[in-house]
Structure 1
C-alpha cells in the first residue's frame, strides 16, 4: 500500500514541475517506496511543494492582497463583488475568493505532509540530509498555516493524506500558532543554509518565526531572531528601494519569495492592481486607498516606487492611485516577497521598544532609523508603537501584513480596541468581522467544522 501511495505521490508532484524555471530530469521509476527513495527523489518532490505555491486556482489567487484590502491600503472598484465584500469587511460564507484562501493552503500542506512522511519513513537517506529537507519543507508548511490562522483563526491541523482527513474538528488558534512555531524552530535548527531567495532556508524560517513571535507577544525571541538575520552577510537594506521590485533575483533585500516566472505566468497581482496605462497593462480592480497615499512623508522614496497617480483614470477621485510593486511586463512573472530584511529591522525595533517601554530606546531607534535613512527620511528622535506600525505600513504596503498589523495594534483613538476593530466598527461592523468566515463549502465537506462567531 505504501508503495502505491508514494508512487502516486511521485507522479503527482513530479508533474507539477513542468512550470519550474530550472528543468529537472525525471527518470521513469517503477515505484517509489521508503526502501528505494533517494535524495534525488526527495529533491524532486520538494520542488513539487514549491510548484503548488504558484497555482492560481487551487492556491491563493490574490490572497496575498487580501490583508491590504481588508485593511486600509487597497479599495474595491469594480467587477468582482467578492472583493467588495472583503473591502467592506462584510464577507459572506459563500465568497468564492475566501474559499480559495481557505482551500489553497491545504494543497501546500498536503503536499508537504506527503514529503515529510516519506522522509520520516525513508530508510536509505542520511540523517543530516533527511533533516535538511524536513526543515525546508516544514518552513513551507508553516507559512501555509500562517496564511490560514491570520485570516480564519483556528483551523484543522492535518498531518496525513488519509481519505477521511477532512472530517476533523478545528484546532484552537493557539494550537495552530504553536504548530507553526514548532515547524519553524525545527527549520531554523535543521533547514538548509541560504542558497538564493527562491528557496526556503534557515534564514527564511528565522524571519517568519521572528514575525510570528512578534504577533504572539514573545518580544525577546522576536528581537533575537530578527537580529540574527540582520547579522547575516547574505542580506542588506537596499540603497535603491525601486530596485527591489525591478530586480527581484538580484536585490539583497530578499530573504525568501515565491518565484513566479513567465513560464507559469500565474502572478495576477500586478494585473489586478495596475491601471491599463501602466507598463504591463492591468484592469485597475483594486486601486490604492488615499489614506495610504497620504501616509508617505515628503521625500520618502517609497512613495514613487510603490504607488502611481493616473489623472482622469476614473471619475471617482478615490480611484486615481495604483500599486507599482508588482513589476512584471504583463506575463504574470512578478515574484511575491514573503520576507525582506527591512521587516527584520522593523521587527527588532518594535520588539526592543516593547521590551524597554522606552520612547528613546537606543536599539529601537537605531533599527527604525536605519530603514528611514535608506528611504530618504530624517531619523526619529523618539519612538512609539504607532510610529513603528506607520513605518511598517509604508515599507510593506501590498506585501500581505497590514490586516494582521491592524488587528494586533491598539488604536490611538481607543487603546482598549485594536486598530482593526475601530476600523470595522466605523463601517457598522463588529469585532466578529476581524476573522474571515469558514467557507460554507468547507463546512459542507467537513461537518466537524464550527463557524466563526457572527457568521
Structure 2
C-alpha cells in the first residue's frame, strides 16, 4: 500500500474546485493544500462534498478499461499493438509496470482518502439532517471507488479510516461487503432522485449500484428485485432517442446518476480517445471499433449502431471508423434505467426476464425474442450478455460482464483466469515493505 497522510489523500478547495497534489512514488500532500476533517464544519461540508464528486469522476481510460480488455476495440496505427492500449487488447506484456494499473490504483485511493475525510467530518458533526445526506453521498462515492478497485484487482486494502500504516490486502469478499455497507447507508439516507436530480447521488442511484453489485456477486434474484423496484418507482422510462441519453444527459429520462464533468472543472473529453485529429471532436484516435463489433454487433435497424459507431471521411478520400458515442465534454454516466432492464432480464427466470429484454429491444428498434428461441438457460444468458454489450457499449461493462459469468477466458487476450484481474502496481508493492502481495500469474 502506498504511504498515506492523515490530513488528506486529496486536497479539496472550497467551492466546486479541487486542488490536486502531485503523485510520484508516494502520495505527496503539501500542508498548503491539505485539509483535515477538523477543518470541515456544517457550513462548508457541502463544498468539500462537491470537491469529492470531482475527485471521484473516473478518468477516461479507467472508465473504458472494460471495453478495451473485453474486445470492443482494437488499436490503431497511431497507437500500435505495443502501446498500453495494444498490450491490454492483445494480452501481451501486461505486467506490474502497466500504466493502467498504476493510474487506477493511485487515483482511486486518493479519492477514497478524500471520501474518508468527508465521512469522518460528518460523524464528528453528528451526521444528522443535511450532514447525514452529505455522508450518504460520500458513502456512495466511496462504494463506487471500491467497486472500480475490486473489479480491476480483486482483493485490495479496505481503508475506511485514513492511516499512515501500510496495510495488507483484504479479500475480495471483504471489499464487496464494504461496498454493500456503504450503499445501504446511502439508500437509507440520501435524497430521492426527484429531489437530487441525476447530477447527484440519490436513493435510486445507490439502489441501482447495489443491484449491479448483487449481480456481480451472483445474487441474481435479489439484484433483479431491486432493478424491478427501480423500473416501477423511479419515475424514469426508456427513451426511443438513444442518442439523447448521451447528448442531453441532464435532461434524460433514463439516467439515474452521472458525474457532471463540467468544462470548468473535471473537463474530461472521452471523444479524444476515438476521434482523429482534424475532425469535429479532434482527438488521438488511439482505439477503434473491433472487427467483431463492426461485423456482428448491430443490425441495420438497431438505432444504437448509428450512435455508437460512425465513419469519418477525410479530405484525401481516406476514412476512419470511429466510436462516435462521445462528443466533446459530456457527463459521465454511472447508472441508467436500461441497465435495470438488463439486470431484470438476467436475474429472473427466462419466462419473466424475457419481458424486460424484449421491452428494451423494441424501443431500440430490434425484433423481440420468443422464449422458444432459447434451447437452454445458457443460450438465454448469452443473448442477455450480447444485449448488454450492444446497449452499454463503451460505458465500461463488457470485460467484467465476461469475468462474472466465467466467459472472459474465451477472449484471445486472456490465457487463464488469473488474468481476470490486473497486476498490482509494482511500485506500490515496493512501497508497502512487503505488506502487499502480487496477484497470481504476474
TM class by smaller structure:
0.7 to 0.9
1:197 match: 198
User: Residue 122 of structure 2 corresponds to which residue in structure 1?
Assistant: 119
Question: Is residue 2:56 matched to residue 1:53?
Answer: yes
Structure 1 unmatched runs, 5+: 21-30, 410-417
Cα gap change, 1:33/1:69 in structure 2, threshold over 3 Å: closer, same or farther? closer
Residue in 1 that maps onto 2:181: 182
| 1:429 matched residue in structure 2 | 415
CA contact (8 A) 1:135 1:191 kept: yes
State the secondary structure of the residue aligned to 1:257.
Answer: strand
In structure 1, distance between residues paired with 2:218 and 2:315: 43
Asked if the contact 1:133/1:192 (under 8 Å) is kept, the reply is no
Distance change (3 Å), C-alpha of 1:385 and 1:11: closer
Deviates more, 1:304-313 or 1:229-238: 304-313
Structure 2 CA distance for partners of 1:9 and 1:108, relative to 1, 3 Å: closer
Contact 1:10 1:32 in 2 (8 A): no
Q: Cα distance 1:122–1:283, how it changes in 2: closer, same or farther (>3 A)?
A: same
Determine if the alignment matches structure 1 residue 352 to structure 2 residue 348. Answer: yes
Closer, same or farther: CA 311–337 of 1 in aligned 2, 3 Å: same
Partner of 1:79: 79
Quote the RMSD (CA, aligned, Å): 2.7
How big is the shift at 1:428? 7.1
SS at match of 1:13: coil
Give 1:429 shift.
Answer: 2.5
Q: Determine the C-alpha separation between the residues in 1 that align with 2:270 and 2:36.
A: 37
Q: Taking structure 1 as reference, are residues 162 and 176 closer, same or farther at Cα in structure 2, changes over 3 Å only?
A: same
**Where does residue 293 of structure 2 map in the other structure?**
292
1:375-411 deviations in Å (ceiling 9; x for gaps) = 01111112510110010000000000101111122xx
- Are the counterparts in 2 of residues 275 and 283 from structure 1 also a CA contact under 8 Å? yes
Q: In 2, are the aligned partners of 1:60 and 1:105 still within 8 Å (CA)? A: no
Structure scoring higher RCO (CA < 8 A, sep ≥ 6) equals 2
CA distance in 1 between counterparts of 2:316 and 2:123 reads 56
Q: Write the distance in 2 (CA, Å) between the matches of 1:305 and 1:271.
A: 16
Alignment partners' CA distance in 2, 1:98 and 1:233: 36
* 1:15 Cα deviation from its structure 2 partner: 5.0
Q: Distance in 1 between matches of 2:227 and 2:66?
A: 23
Corresponding residue for residue 91 of structure 2: 89
Matched, 1:336 2:332: yes
Q: 1:392 aligns with which of 363, 382, 388?
A: 388
TM-score, normalization by structure 1: 0.83
Q: Provide the C-alpha distance between the structure 1 equivalents of 2:315 and 2:428, rounded to a whole number of angstroms.
A: 39
Aligned counterparts of 1:232 and 1:314: Cα–Cα separation in 2: 53
Q: CA deviation at 1:99?
A: 0.5
Alignment deviations for residues 143-201 of structure 1 (CA, whole Å, 9 cap, x no partner): 0000011111100001122222xx11000111111111111111111122222111111
Instruction: Quickly say closer, same or farther: Cα 1:99–1:381, change in 2 above 3 A.
Output: same
* Correspondence 1:12-91 to 2 at 5 A: 12-15=11-14, 17-18=16-17, 38-54=41-57, 60-77=59-76, 78-79=78-79, 81-90=83-92, 91=94
Report runs of 4+ in structure 1 exceeding 6 Å deviation: 312-315
Equivalences for residues 80-229 of structure 1 within 5 A: 81-90=83-92, 91-123=94-126, 127-164=128-165, 167-194=166-193, 195-229=196-230
Pair 19,10 (structure 1): closer, same or farther in 2 beyond 3 Å: closer
**Match of residue 420 from structure 1:** 408
